[in-house]
C-alpha cells in the first residue's frame, strides 16, 4: 500500500518535471522573430477538446489543469480554447460558451485540417496487374523461408553446468528439499542439519589430527569459526572415530597425497549432461569433490553423504551420476587414472565403492 509521504513525493516529482517541460516549450516558442507556426497532430482531438474546454474557467486556466494534461499539444490547446480566435476549437468541442481571455490580445490564425488516405480510381486499381516474380529473388526468398538452423539440436544445452544441480535434475523431484529458515535454529538443529554439521567437520578437519584426537580437532574448528557453536555441539565424534578406524579411513591416512574440497572446471560431452542428439557438443562442468587420495598411482574419490537411508545402495541410486561426473573431471584435471569411487554415508558410518573404469 502506498503512503501519504510517498504520494506527496510522487506529486512533487511530477510537478517539477512538468515545470521543466513548460520552460523548454516557452524557450522554444519565444525564439521566433517574425512569425510562429505551431503544428500538432493526433487522432483523439474530438475526444480531448471537450475535456480541455471544461478546464477553462472565468479565472483562466488553473494550475491543476496545467498539471493534469497529457502533453505539450494539450497545453497549447488550452490556450487556444481560451483565446478569442479559437472559435473553431470551441465549436468542435461543443463549448461555445467557454470563457475568452482578451487581455494582451495577439491575433492567432487557428485552423483544422483533416487528412484522409488517398484513394485511387477504380479503373486505375483494376489496371494494376501483379508483375511476374524475378526468378532469382523468388529462389532466394524460398531458401530463406525454408532455412533450418544447423545447430537446432544444441538449443537448450547450457554452456556450463554444476555436478550437484545436474544430478538433482536427473534424479527428479523425489529427493528435493528446502533449507530451513535461519530463525528456526533457535529451537535446535534438525537431523538433516546435524548431518550437515558432521559433513562440514569432515570437510574442514585435518584428517591426521582428527584421527589422533577427534575432540581436539573439533575444538580447533570451532575456535577458527569453521563450525558454529551449535554445529560443533551436534557433531557425533563417535562416527568420526569409526570412519578413521575403518579400512577406508586407514587407506586415506596412509595416502601420500590427500586433498579435500577439490574444486574443478572440466569439459565433458553434452550427452553426460543429459543432452540427446548432441554427441559432438561439449559443456563445461564445474564442481567440488569432497575428498581424493592417491594409491598405487591411481586417484580414488570419496563423496560424503548425510542422507537418512537404510542401505548404502540407496546412495548409489541417487548419486552415481554425480560421482561419475567427478571421476571424468578428475581424470582431465589431474591426468591420473581414477580407480575407485566411494560413497560414504555419515548417517550409517558405512561406505561402499565401485570401480570407475570396469563398470562404465
Task: Note the pLDDT tens digit of each residue in 100-142.
Answer: 988 888 899 998 888 777 776 766 666 667 778 889 999 999 9
Instruction: Let me know if residue 107 belongs to a domain.
Output: no
Q: End of a domain among 222, 245, 268?
A: 245
Nearest to 326 by CA among 261, 247, 256: 261
**End-to-end Cα separation, the chain, in angstroms:** 60
Q: Please tell me whether residues 83 and 229 are part of one structural domain.
A: no
Instruction: Let me know if residue 101 belongs to a domain.
Output: no
Residue indicated by cell numbers 560431452: 269
Residue 252: domain span: 153-185+247-360
Q: What is the pLDDT of residue 242?
A: 94
- Pairing of the two strands 282-295 and 60-61: unpaired
Q: Please tell me whether residues 49 and 180 are part of one structural domain.
A: no
pLDDT at 181 exceeding the cut of 80: no
Q: Please tell me whether residues 273 and 294 are part of one structural domain.
A: yes
Q: What is the pLDDT of residue 292?
A: 96
Between the alpha carbon of residue 256 and those of residues 31, 240, 336, the distances in Å are: 87, 21, 14
Arithmetic mean of pLDDT over the chain = 86
Instruction: Let me know if residue 328 belongs to a domain.
Output: yes
Q: Please tell me whether residues 205 and 181 are part of one structural domain.
A: no
* DSSP H/E element including 289: strand 282-295
For residue 69, the tally of other CB atoms under 10 A from its CB is: 19
Q: Distance (Å, rounded) from C-alpha 177 to C-alpha 341?
A: 25
**Higher-pLDDT residue of 274, 62:** 62
% of the chain beyond a pLDDT of 70: 90
| Cell matching residue 243 | 570412519
Burial 116-125 (b: 16+ CB within 10 A, else e): eeeeeeeeee
Residue 158 sits in a domain of what CATH number? Answer: 3.90.320.10
Q: Please tell me whether residues 55 and 167 are part of one structural domain.
A: no
User: How many alpha carbons lie under 13 Å from residue 88 in its C-beta half-sphere?
Assistant: 8
Q: End of a domain among 218, 245, 272?
A: 245
Ranges 127-131, 189-193, 205-209, 224-228: which has the least confidence: 127-131
Q: What is the pLDDT of residue 175?
A: 47
Instruction: Let me know if residue 351 belongs to a domain.
Output: yes
Contact between 328 and 272 (Cβ < 8 Å): yes
Q: Please tell me whether residues 86 and 157 are part of one structural domain.
A: no
Nearest to 343 by CA among 335, 317, 357, 256: 317
Q: End of a domain among 93, 122, 142?
A: 93
Q: What is the pLDDT of residue 127?
A: 66
Between the alpha carbon of residue 141 and those of residues 149, 150, 151, the distances in Å are: 16, 18, 21
Instruction: Let me know if residue 271 belongs to a domain.
Output: yes
Q: What is the pLDDT of residue 69?
A: 84
Instruction: Collect all residues with Cβ–Cβ distance below 8 Å to 246 and sequence separation of at least 6.
Output: 349
Instruction: Collect all residues with Cβ–Cβ distance below 8 Å to 305 and sequence separation of at least 6.
Output: 315, 319, 343, 344, 345, 346, 347
SS3 355: strand
Q: Please tell me whether residues 233 and 339 are part of one structural domain.
A: no
* Interval 28-49 mean pLDDT: 88
pLDDT at 24 exceeding the cut of 50: yes
pLDDT at 337 exceeding the cut of 90: yes
Instruction: Let me know if residue 113 belongs to a domain.
Output: no
Instruction: Let me know if residue 204 belongs to a domain.
Output: yes
What's the structural domain count of the chain? 3
Q: Please tell me whether residues 196 and 179 are part of one structural domain.
A: no
Q: Please tell me whether residues 53 and 197 are part of one structural domain.
A: no
Q: Distance (Å, rounded) from C-alpha 176 to C-alpha 110?
A: 72
How would residue 173 be classed by pLDDT, with cut points 50, 70 and 90?
A: very low
SS3 133: coil
Q: Please tell me whether residues 218 and 293 are part of one structural domain.
A: no
Instruction: Let me know if residue 143 belongs to a domain.
Output: no
pTM of the model as a whole: 0.55
% of the chain beyond a pLDDT of 90: 50
How would residue 338 be classed by pLDDT, with cut points 50, 70 and 90?
A: very high
**Higher-pLDDT residue of 125, 268:** 268
Q: Please tell me whether residues 177 and 295 are part of one structural domain.
A: yes
Q: Please tell me whether residues 276 and 296 are part of one structural domain.
A: yes
Helices (H), the chain: 4-29, 45-53, 63-68, 72-82, 87-93, 122-127, 135-145, 163-171, 191-204, 207-212, 214-223, 229-234, 237-245, 247-254, 313-334
Amino acid at each position: 500500500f502506498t503512503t501519504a509521504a510517498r504520494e506527496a513525493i510522487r506529486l512533487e516529482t511530477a510537478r517539477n518535471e512538468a515545470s521543466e517541460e513548460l520552460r523548454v516549450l516557452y524557450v522554444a516558442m519565444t525564439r521566433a522573430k517574425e512569425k510562429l507556426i505551431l503544428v500538432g497532430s493526433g487522432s483523439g482531438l474530438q475526444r480531448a477538446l471537450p475535456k480541455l474546454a471544461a478546464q477553462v474557467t472565468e479565472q483562466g486556466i488553473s494550475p491543476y489543469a496545467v498539471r493534469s494534461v497529457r502533453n505539450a499539444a494539450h497545453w497549447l490547446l488550452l490556450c487556444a480554447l481560451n483565446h478569442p480566435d479559437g472559435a473553431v476549437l470551441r465549436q468542435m468541442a461543443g463549448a461555445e460558451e467557454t470563457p475568452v481571455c482578451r487581455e494582451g490580445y495577439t491575433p492567432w490564425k487557428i485552423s483544422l485540417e483533416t487528412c484522409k488516405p488517398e484513394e485511387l480510381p477504380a479503373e486505375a486499381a483494376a489496371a494494376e496487374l501483379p508483375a511476374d516474380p524475378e526468378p532469382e529473388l523468388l529462389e532466394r526468398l524460398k531458401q530463406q523461408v525454408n532455412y533450418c538452423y544447423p545447430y537446432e539440436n544444441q538449443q537448450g544445452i547450457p554452456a556450463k553446468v554444476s555436478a550437484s544441480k545436474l544430478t538433482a535434475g536427473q534424479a527428479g523431484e523425489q529427493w528435493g528439499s528446502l533449507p530451513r529458515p535461519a530463525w528456526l535454529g533457535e529451537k535446535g538443529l534438525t537431523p538433516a542439519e546435524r548431518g550437515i554439521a558432521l559433513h562440514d567437520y569432515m570437510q574442514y578437519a585435518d584428517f591426521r589430527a582428527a584421527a589422533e584426537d577427534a575432540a581436539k580437532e573439533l575444538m580447533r574448528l570451532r575456535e577458527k569459526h569453521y563450525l558454529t557453536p551449535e554445529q560443533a555441539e551436534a557433531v557425533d565424534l563417535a562416527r568420526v572415530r569409526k570412519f578413521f578406524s575403518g579400512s577406508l579411513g586407514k587407506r586415506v591416512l596412509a595416502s601420500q597425497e590427500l586433498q579435500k574440497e577439490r574444486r574443478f572446471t572440466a569439459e565433458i560431452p553434452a550427452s553426460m549432461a543429459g543432452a540427446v542428439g548432441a554427441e559432438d557438443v561439449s559443456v563445461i562442468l564445474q564442481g567440488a569433490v569432497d575428498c581424493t587420495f592417491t594409491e598405487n598411482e591411481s586417484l580414488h574419490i570419496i563423496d560424503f553423504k548425510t542422507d537418512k537411508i537404510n542401505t548404502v545402495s540407496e546412495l548409489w541410486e541417487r548419486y552415481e551420476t554425480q560421482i561419475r561426473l567427478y571421476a571424468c573431471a578428475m581424470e582431465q584435471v589431474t591426468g591420473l587414472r581414477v580407480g575407485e569411487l566411494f560413497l560414504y554415508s555419515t548417517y550409517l558410518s558405512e561406505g561402499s565403492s565401485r570401480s570407475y573404469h570396469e563398470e562404465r
